[in-house]
Chains A and B, each alone.
Chain A
Amino acid sequence: GAVVSQHPSRVICKSGTSVKIECRSLDFQATTMFWYRQFPKQSLMLMATSNEGSKATYEQGVEKDKFLINHASLTLSTLTVTSAHPEDSSFYICSAHQGTGRDQPQHFGDGTRLSIL
């Protein structure tokens, strides 16, 4: 149980393109989902917390207009990288929080490797 599906797994596109990444919890409802960014050989950097039915909470330094997050249902959150540029190339990972308590683990998607040419 507790499977999170992230799609696509890899994107290669031209500079200026907008890219949408989907994160779905397949067998549980996730009130809260998280979006992380990971640079090579580095830790996960939390970008934003996505709450179903409300606006996402962005971490300091993360541009809201650049990284649009929509959490339309209890099983789906999307991250759209708008007008992507080469510096946006990275590994993006989503996670879904099962339940509401701090004791519940986050379950992660397989990640999306984004390459902007």
Chain B
Amino acid sequence: AQKVTQAQTEISVVEKEDVTLDCVYETRDTTYYLFWYKQPPSGELVFLIRRNSFDEQNEISGRYSWNFQKSTSSFNFTITASQVVDSAVYFCALSTTTSGTYKYIFGTGTRLKVLA
């Protein structure tokens, strides 16, 4: 089965705290891609990162970092020194090809509230 699980429905932190958003996936594909998107209250989805299944290097971009571990099928996202502007819903997605049709499998999202 192709599936993405974001077990944390909602997380609240105080500004400047670090926070990790979990993403666990299931796929039969040997080659696949994982993505994180941010959806602020205004509604648009903003692309944050892409990771392919052959590249397990962790990535850091400013206050954002991602930890990809194939052994546990996880692709977790950490925000360091969180800010109020980080408040949003974050979606993890798996890119898969089912019956030759490319599509995303989205997780249910994690709502992050950063309190001032």
CA distance A46 to B32 in the complex (A): 19
Asked if A44 and B106 make an inter-chain contact with CB atoms under 8 angstroms apart, the answer reads yes
**B-contacting residues of A (Cβ < 8 Å)?**
2, 32, 34, 41-44, 46, 49, 57, 91, 93, 95, 97, 102-103, 105-111, 113
A-B contact pairs, 24 of them (CB 8 A): A2-B47, A41-B111, A42-B108, A43-B106, A43-B108, A43-B109, A44-B106, A46-B103, A49-B103, A57-B101, A91-B43, A95-B45, A102-B97, A103-B33, A105-B35, A105-B50, A108-B44, A108-B45, A109-B44, A110-B42, A110-B43, A110-B44, A111-B44, A113-B43
**A-contacting residues of B (Cβ < 8 Å)?**
31-33, 35, 37, 42-47, 50, 52, 91, 95-97, 101-104, 106-109, 111
Q: Which residue of B lies closest to A97 (CB)?
A: B102
With A42-B108, A46-B103 already in contact, the answer to whether A102 and B95 are too (CB < 8 A) is yes
Rounded to whole Å, the gap between the CB of B91 and the closest CB of chain A is 7
Q: Which residue of A lies closest to B49 (CB)?
A: A105
With A34-B103, A43-B107 already in contact, the answer to whether A102 and B47 are too (CB < 8 A) is no
- Contacts of B52 on A, CB cut-off 8 Å? 103
- Contacts of B35 on A, CB cut-off 8 Å? 105
Asked if B47 and A105 make an inter-chain contact with CB atoms under 8 angstroms apart, the answer reads yes
Rounded to whole Å, the gap between the CB of A76 and the closest CB of chain B is 19
Rounded to whole Å, the gap between the CB of A10 and the closest CB of chain B is 10
